Structure 1
Amino acid sequence: MPEHKQTIPVVAGALMRPDGQFMLGSRPAGKPYPGYWEFPGGKVEAGETPLAALVREFQEEMGITVTHATPWLRRVHHYEHASVELLFYRIWAWQGEPQPHEGQAFAWQQPGHLSVKPMLPANDPILRSLQLPDVLNLTCIAETGRDALLDKLAQHQDAPWVIVREPQKNREQLAALVGEISEIIHPRGGKLIVNADPAWLKGWPVDGVQLNSQRLAACEARPHFAWVGASCHSRTELDRAAALGLDYALLGHVQATASHPGQAALGWDGLAACLAPAAPLPVFALGGLRTANLDAARQAGAHGVAQMRGAWQ
């Protein structure tokens, strides 16, 4: 890998529609990688904050005024011509209609189903992150009861992502529960992830594994599953999860919870401080939260929220 004397700070933004579609732009002639597709953005100028740079770049590139954007992800990428530190934002609201001011093209895309290529290499992990949901649902059968949990899942009209977290169950009990949940959510396109020893899950109808903090610390390489997440409590653990190439992390607890009596919560300011200037991988805020807290979590730099008791009430 070539060494570069300086890393260039760059901002990039994903315009987000309510249906989950996002916008990509092509790189114009005269720039490195002409014709490649990317998330629009540009360099952060001296004395400029990343958010101010984002607003300026979108005004210059496509003539829109960004009115609501939240920090999302940080990536460092080494190109042949330069190293760049990319701070990605998701843009939820803007004024005006995007117009190509620099001879580029724009295209709305559906997560997981791109219709344009080639993509700028630095953006591959970002595209995968957009396939993640806004909300993850963690099971807690000791409190909800098995029947109530399965009934609630059956009532879902969407395709939920469920993390089975039942440390009190042995392998056989866990396998039976996973099978029951799979029969409900997989026909609707939902995803099923299990917090357990990865070796247990061979042959189970799962989409991924969730590593607790002990397994994360002991992990030397990413487990071979389509989706791999980790439960984290600090920026150090988040950075380790990112270094292993994991897809997301849970971070908490943000608010006081019944399962953590007497333990100090991060709070929203603590969450934002832990994720600043942007998270190294998509983070779901956890701890006393539910879907109603989604915007606050995004403002703090999280991808979304993970809810436990709130998911089954």
Structure 2
Amino acid sequence: MRTERISASGQPERRSPKVVVGAAIIHDGRVLACARTAPPEVAGMWEFPGGKVEPGESETAALVRECAEELAVRVEIGDRVGRNVRMAHGRSVLKVYAARLLYGDEPKALEHSAMRWLSAAELDTVTWLPADAPIVEALRPLLATGR
């Protein structure tokens, strides 16, 4: 998917959407969900931790960095979970990857108001951000199999 913008010369300018990555950190058949603190319109809604991919950074490297910054954990990134989810009127796309904690690290809520480990049966007990909600359905089979 590409978006168009009109340049100063009046010609269409094509650009790829920004990529935002999320980590579905799975441990003991449960996934880590984090509650947003900001912006106000989504504060208290739940998401998979992650963030924007910086220029020159791979998606997996961005996720490793974001997990360290947001949760103070080291992770191993696995396969994609679900489909690409369009965000911000098509200007961004969310890509979520399965991940697992390394070295016995325990997540800390450095940038979130709360964290919860959710089993497949508990996924609907929180209000997910609209972009993260489609990933939840794709995640259910992974939690059921413990992968």
Alignment TM-score, normalising by the size of structure 2: 0.75
Residue number in structure 2 paired with 1:54: 63
CA distance in 2, matches of 1:46, 1:62: 22
CA shift, 1:87, in A, is: 1.7
Residue number in structure 2 paired with 1:119: 128
Pair 1:71-2:79 in alignment: yes
CA distance in 2, matches of 1:114, 1:90: 16
Q: Judge conservation of contact 1:37–1:116 (CA < 8 Å) in 2.
A: no
CA shift, 1:126, in A, is: 1.2
SS of residue in 1 equivalent to 2:86: strand
Q: Judge conservation of contact 1:25–1:37 (CA < 8 Å) in 2.
A: yes
Residue number in structure 2 paired with 1:183: none
Equivalent of 1:128 in 134, 137, 143? 137
- Bigger share in helix: 1
CA distance in 2, matches of 1:104, 1:53: 22
Trace 1:154-169 onto structure 2 (pairs within 5 A).
Answer: none
CA shift, 1:71, in A, is: 2.6
Which deviations, in whole Å up to 9, do the C-alpha atoms of 1:19-56 show, x marking residues without a partner? x1101101113366222101110000011011110010
Q: Which has the higher contact order (CA 8 A, sep 6+)?
A: 2
- Structure 1 residues 94 and 26, CA, compared in 2 at 3 Å: closer, same or farther? same
Larger radius of gyration: 1
Trace 1:218-297 onto structure 2 (pairs within 5 A).
Answer: none
Residue number in structure 2 paired with 1:84: 92
Report the RMSD for the aligned CA atoms in angstroms: 2.7
Equivalent of 1:97 in 73, 93, 106? 106
Which deviations, in whole Å up to 9, do the C-alpha atoms of 1:196-246 show, x marking residues without a partner? xxxxxxxxxxxxxxxxxxxxxxxxxxxxxxxxxxxxxxxxxxxxxxxxxxx
Which deviations, in whole Å up to 9, do the C-alpha atoms of 1:45-104 show, x marking residues without a partner? 0110111100100000010111x2213134132335x63212211112324211111243
CA distance in 1, matches of 2:4, 2:73: 34
User: Which amino acid in structure 2 is aligned with residue 123 of structure 1?
Assistant: D
Q: Judge conservation of contact 2:31–2:117 (CA < 8 Å) in 1.
A: yes
After the TM superposition, which parts of structure 1 deviate over 4 Å for at least 4 consecutive aligned residues?
3-6
CA shift, 1:121, in A, is: 1.0
Percentage of pairs with the same residue: 33
User: Which amino acid in structure 1 is aligned with residue 95 of structure 2?
Assistant: L
Unaligned runs of 5+ in 1: 135-158, 161-303, 305-313
Equivalent of 1:12 in 4, 22, 27? 22
CA distance in 2, matches of 1:56, 1:133: 24
CA distance in 2, matches of 1:35, 1:129: 23
- Structure 1 residues 119 and 16, CA, compared in 2 at 3 Å: closer, same or farther? same
Alignment TM-score, normalising by the size of structure 1: 0.38
Question: How many residues are paired up?
Answer: 132
Which deviations, in whole Å up to 9, do the C-alpha atoms of 1:104-154 show, x marking residues without a partner? 3110101142364321112222111122258xxxxxxxxxxxxxxxxxxxx
- Structure 1 residues 11 and 103, CA, compared in 2 at 3 Å: closer, same or farther? closer
- Bigger share in strand: 2
CA distance in 1, matches of 2:101, 2:67: 12
CA distance in 2, matches of 1:101, 1:56: 14
- Structure 1 residues 28 and 44, CA, compared in 2 at 3 Å: closer, same or farther? same
Residue number in structure 1 paired with 2:54: 45
CA distance in 1, matches of 2:94, 2:110: 22
SS of residue in 2 equivalent to 1:106: strand
Equivalent of 2:45 in 36, 39, 43? 36
